[in-house]
Amino acid sequence: MLQSPHQPLQVAAVPAQRIPAREDDAGPWHSEAACRRDEAGLFFAPSKEPTAARLAREEAAKRVCGGCPVMIECREHALMQPEPYGVWGGLTAAERRVALARRRRRDIELTATTTAERIAAAG
């Protein structure tokens, strides 16, 4: 059942351990994240969420990510961990799986090209 546009989205709480822990001289990158100003549950699915509600919630989360000053750092964190749930760096879990698969294919292609170049140079 679709929610009325005037009703707030139902969201789930985010476990504290899901917050990235990387810090550098300027402090943790996530302290600058735009999502810190929003309800964290917007970025994570409640259990048994209907498809239409999930899509609306994910789009709302992506809009927040779109204006985030640390979106790239967040995305890289989610790809390197890998984070299995939620919207991170403007990507859903499914979109991150696709991005990781593309990276793996690119890395394999680069390795094959480099190996072929070495063989050709040696030969």
**What CA–CA distance (Å, rounded) separates 71 from 109?**
27
- Please tell me whether 74 is known to bind a ligand: yes
Is the distance from CB of 93 to CB of 61 less than 8 angstroms? Answer: no
Q: Was 35 annotated as part of a binding site?
A: yes
Rounded CA gap, 58 and 66, in Å? 12
**Which amino acid would we find at residue 16?**
A
Residue 65 marked as a ligand binder: yes
Q: What is the DSSP letter of 89?
A: T
Token code pair at residue 44:
């994570």
Binding residues: 35, 65, 68, 74
Binding residues for [4Fe-4S] cluster: 35, 65, 68, 74
